[in-house]
Amino acid sequence: MGIDPPFGKGLVNVIVEHALHSGGADDIRTTFDIFREIFLVFLVIGTAVGVVVVAYMTYNAYKYRDGNGTADSGDVSRPELGELPSGSGGGKKLFVSFFFSAIIVVSLIGWTYGVLGYYEEGPTEAETDEALEIEVTGYQFGWQFTYPNGHTNSTLVVPQDRPIRLTVTSDDVFHTFGVPEQRVKTDAIPGQTTKTWFVANETGQFEARCYELCGSGHSYMTADVVVVRQSEFHDWYDNRSAAENETQADDDPDTETGTDTEGRLVGVPSVTTPNHATEPTTIEP
């Protein structure tokens, strides 16, 4: 069920979840899936390497401790006061270790590079439904979403299983737009646009928030993301237009939304123009 966001899952949970995960074969490969897979592999290998190296260090520190007898074999040359600095041998072992570590690092990163292109560009039109293009504008301290028909909203309402392409910018300072549950994130830079995409496989309500310090309201700079079934999205979207923005400006942005047992949307996502006044204004600069 997608209602319970994976937000807040620790490392362990991610691994467990991955083990249980059974993605449908015809699913679009989402950023969430890609991230989870890569993160898991990195975690396993990273932990293994870390444990081996630190264990080996500790073993050496213990084995060659003073008074253990290992030190006094006689053939070891010790540093002397006033000598010109020089090194010990052992270069071969050094290079073998270096070589292996380099292979691990390069192959890990090289492997992730293979999906970077897809991660950047998203699924092609041929693979999926037509993408929904939404403009995202950050401001101190909130987000505004502009739909292709000119409708603007303070909640990001998107259909399930359809690529959502975001063009992100900022009205004032440097923000970063991110929806952690969807593993989507990009910088919102004034005067520039950045692009990103995601596909939500499950309906539900999520949180978008700012990931770059942007002022005193940074901690509160969030927006709701509501994923609904495609049919429900069409019902909602077809009744929205740019002209409506003004008339519905006073809607309560915090309308309860959720899904019933069948996963249907309960409560209508609020529709407002960006209303800066709804943001925490009590904060002193």
Contacts of residue 267, Cβ cutoff 8 Å, sequence gap at least 6: 255, 256, 257, 258
**Nearest distance, CB of residue 28 and another protein, angstroms:** 16
Q: Does 74 bind another protein (CB under 8 A)?
A: no
Q: Does 73 bind another protein (CB under 8 A)?
A: yes
Choices 19-27, 168-176, 198-206, 242-250; region in contact with another protein by CB under 8 A? 168-176
Cis peptide before 141 (omega within 30 of 0): yes
Nearer to another protein, 113 or 242 (CB): 113
Q: Does 113 bind another protein (CB under 8 A)?
A: yes
Choices 21-29, 49-57, 224-232, 269-277; region in contact with another protein by CB under 8 A? 49-57
| Length of the chain as a residue count | 285
Pattern of binders to another protein over 183-212, x per CB under 8 A? x-xxx-xxxxxx--------------xxxx
CB 217 within 8 A of CB 207: no
E strand or H helix at 133: strand 132-139
Residue of the chain from 56, 235, 258, 267 that contacts another protein (CB under 8 A): 56
Q: Report how far residue 112's alpha carbon sits from residue 37's, in angstroms, rounded to the nearest whole number.
A: 10
Nearer to another protein, 108 or 268 (CB): 108
**Nearest distance, CB of residue 217 and another protein, angstroms:** 7
Q: Which residues of 177-215 are buried (b: 16+ CB within 10 A; e: fewer)?
A: bbbbbbbbbbbbbeeeebebbbbbbbbbbbebbbbbebe
Q: Does 101 bind another protein (CB under 8 A)?
A: yes
Q: Does 76 bind another protein (CB under 8 A)?
A: yes
Angle, vertex CA 20, rays to CA 226 and CA 164, nearest 5:
30
Q: If we measure between CA atoms, which residue out of 159, 278, 284, 160 comes closest to residue 223? A: 278
Nearer to another protein, 119 or 143 (CB): 119
Q: Report how far residue 123's alpha carbon sits from residue 118's, in angstroms, rounded to the nearest whole number.
A: 7
Choices 82-90, 129-137, 225-233, 246-254; region in contact with another protein by CB under 8 A? 82-90
Q: Does 124 bind another protein (CB under 8 A)?
A: no
**Nearest distance, CB of residue 116 and another protein, angstroms:** 5
234-273: contacts with another protein (CB under 8 A): none
Quote the radius of gyration of the chain (alpha carbons, Å). 26
Q: What is the DSSP letter of 78?
A: P
Q: Report how far residue 159's alpha carbon sits from residue 162's, in angstroms, rounded to the nearest whole number.
A: 6
Residue of the chain from 15, 29, 165, 216 that contacts another protein (CB under 8 A): 216
98 CB neighbour count, 10 Å cutoff: 10
Residue of the chain from 21, 97, 241, 242 that contacts another protein (CB under 8 A): 97
Q: Does 22 bind another protein (CB under 8 A)?
A: no
Residue of the chain from 22, 86, 261, 281 that contacts another protein (CB under 8 A): 86
Residue of the chain from 214, 226, 227, 228 that contacts another protein (CB under 8 A): 214
